[in-house]
């Protein structure tokens, strides 16, 4: 699911794809989207983008002389679990294109589309970053570090470090795969108390006798957790791809899959935190591990992931349909319904209940993100982290 690096890759894609294009007309919203209408119309405007943490700002800027006279409009996007941008021919829109910006005639019309298969993404006209989110781990490192160390008395740091890393008030841009990779590199148990891990950094100061090059070398050789919260997402951005490369398919994710060391990897263990999110790790889970939680190791056998799908974003496997007693009598003896072997990701998710004829429908399976799909749940201290914080 999109985290800080994916939002930054998306903003880079929008700026590259829309450079030199002139858009015109109204902004079109799909009939099934519950997001607000975008009150903007202009005969000629440009589109640009910027990202901050897990949010992306799209700016619509009318050109001089465009009609009707219109002030620039900014939209803030949160990608949910499957949001992305695509540029496509206007007569061949991609499925699930829930917001569309069309180029002006007479050139062949194109459409910049916000594509969201699961419809958990959200946009807000107004252009203001969501209040309460901390500084961006990628672009505002010094402010980010200061914000964390200044607020270690907050109750968020009473919790396991794996849960604190998802609190967007302090770690704006960190999500599920990033927290696993960061903790794994430092061999920090995911269920160690967050304050215990971070307090030591308050007093860590490089020797004043060290030269600047020595300080830089020391940071590179022995980075602390907050430094990795900056450098690890930066590595993902530098990989490129993730749905925005020239291949736009499975090969576009190859570099990212090769980069992963921990998240969903063979030999790694996994547990669910108190919000139901799966954390991957190696070794001891730590003193605050959930009681009764059973660590499951990732099997070495891997199934092929589909293009533009990431670990833990796949739907759960279908459960074989149940049969009535009458139908079972006609089954040959020793016949068994074979269940496909799922990936560890699929093993973490509950399969949906398929109702039998004449019975009430069962509840549908939930995804890793629990609770209402509201952006206020970005803050795990106030409830489960939803797709908006993912």
Q: Above 70 in pLDDT, residue 302?
A: no
Instruction: Give pLDDT, residue 294.
Output: 73
Residues 6 or more apart whose CB falls under 8 angstroms from that of 322 comprise 354, 356
Residue 233 annotated among the catalytic residues of the structure: no
pLDDT at position 219, please? 61
Other C-beta atoms closer than 10 Å to the C-beta of 70 total 16
Asked about 54 being catalytic, the answer comes back as yes
> What is the 8-class DSSP label of residue 193?
B
DSSP states of 278-299 as a string? EEEESS---TTPPTTPPPEEPP
Summarize the confidence of residues 324-352 as an average pLDDT: 39
- Active-site residue among 3, 140, 163, 312? 3
Residue 286 has pLDDT above 90, yes or no: yes
327: pLDDT strictly greater than 50? no
Q: Are 133 and 86 in contact (CB under 8 A)?
A: no
- Report the distance separating Cα 46 and Cα 37, nearest Å: 19
Catalytic residue among 2, 189, 190, 233: 2
Hey, which residues does 73 pair with through a beta bridge?
60
The pLDDT of residue 18: 97
Query: Which pLDDT does position 213 carry in this prediction?
Result: 63
Nearest to 115 by CA among 132, 133, 93, 136: 93
Query: For 35-71, what is each residue's pLDDT tens digit?
Result: 999 999 999 999 999 999 999 999 999 999 999 999 9
Residue 318 has pLDDT above 60, yes or no: no
| Farthest CA pair distance, the chain | 84
How confident is the model at residue 339, as a pLDDT?
Answer: 37
Q: pLDDT: is 303 or 145 the higher one?
A: 145
* Amino acid 252: pLDDT: 76
pLDDT for 390 beyond 90 = no
Q: In order of start, what are the domains of the chain with their CATH numbers?
A: 4-125 (3.20.190.10), 141-286 (1.10.8.50)
Count CB-CB contacts under 10 A for residue 97. 19
- pLDDT per position as a tens digit, 172-217: 999 999 999 999 999 999 999 999 999 999 876 555 666 656 555 5
Lowest mean pLDDT among 24-38, 231-245, 298-312, 366-380: 366-380
pLDDT tens digits, 352-376? 344 444 444 444 444 444 333 344 3
Q: Where do the H-state alpha helices sit in 244-377?
A: 254-259, 325-329, 344-348
Share above pLDDT 90 across residues of the chain, in percent, rounded to a whole number: 63
* Better-scored residue on pLDDT, 119 or 295: 119
Average pLDDT, the chain: 80
Confidence class for position 246, pLDDT limits 50, 70, 90: low
SS3 335: coil
Is 37 one of the catalytic residues? no
Catalytic residue among 5, 54, 55, 163: 54
């Amino acid at each position: 699911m999109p985290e800080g690096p994916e939002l930054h890759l998306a903003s880079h894609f929008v700026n590259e794809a829309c450079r030199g294009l002139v858009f015109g007309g109204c902004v079109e919203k799909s009939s099934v989207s519950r997001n607000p209408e975008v009150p903007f119309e202009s005969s000629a405007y440009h589109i640009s983008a910027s990202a901050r943490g897990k949010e992306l700002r799209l700016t619509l800027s009318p050109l001089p002389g465009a009609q009707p006279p219109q002030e620039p409009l900014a939209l803030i996007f949160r990608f949910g679990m499957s949001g992305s941008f695509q540029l496509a021919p206007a007569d061949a829109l991609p499925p699930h294109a829930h917001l569309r910006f069309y180029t002006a005639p007479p050139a062949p019309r194109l459409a910049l589309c916000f594509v969201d298969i699961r419809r958990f993404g959200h946009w807000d006209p107004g252009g203001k970053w969501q209040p309460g989110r901390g500084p961006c781990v990628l672009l505002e490192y010094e402010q980010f570090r200061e914000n964390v160390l200044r607020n270690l008395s907050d109750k968020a740091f009473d919790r396991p470090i794996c849960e604190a890393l998802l609190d967007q008030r302090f770690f704006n841009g960190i999500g599920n795969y990033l927290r696993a990779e960061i903790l794994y590199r430092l061999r920090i148990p995911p269920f160690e108390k967050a304050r215990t891990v971070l307090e030591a950094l308050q007093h860590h100061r490089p020797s004043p006798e060290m030269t600047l090059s020595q300080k830089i070398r020391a940071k590179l050789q022995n980075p602390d957790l907050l430094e990795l919260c900056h450098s690890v997402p930066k590595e993902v951005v530098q990989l490129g791809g993730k749905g925005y490369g020239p291949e736009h398919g499975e090969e576009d994710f190859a570099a990212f899959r090769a980069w992963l060391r921990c998240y969903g990897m063979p030999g790694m263990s996994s547990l669910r935190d108190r919000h139901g999110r799966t954390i991957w790790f190696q070794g001891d889970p730590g003193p605050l591990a959930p009681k009764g939680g059973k660590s499951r190791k990732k099997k070495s056998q891997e199934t092929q992931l589909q293009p533009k799908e990431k670990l833990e974003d796949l739907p759960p496997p279908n459960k074989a349909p149940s049969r009535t007693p009458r139908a079972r009598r006609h089954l040959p003896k020793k016949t068994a319904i074979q269940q496909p072997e799922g990936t560890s990701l699929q093993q973490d998710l509950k399969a949906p209940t398929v109702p039998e004829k004449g019975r009430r429908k069962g509840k549908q399976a939930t995804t890793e993100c629990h609770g209402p799909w509201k952006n206020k749940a970005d803050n795990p201290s106030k409830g489960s982290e939803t797709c908006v914080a993912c």
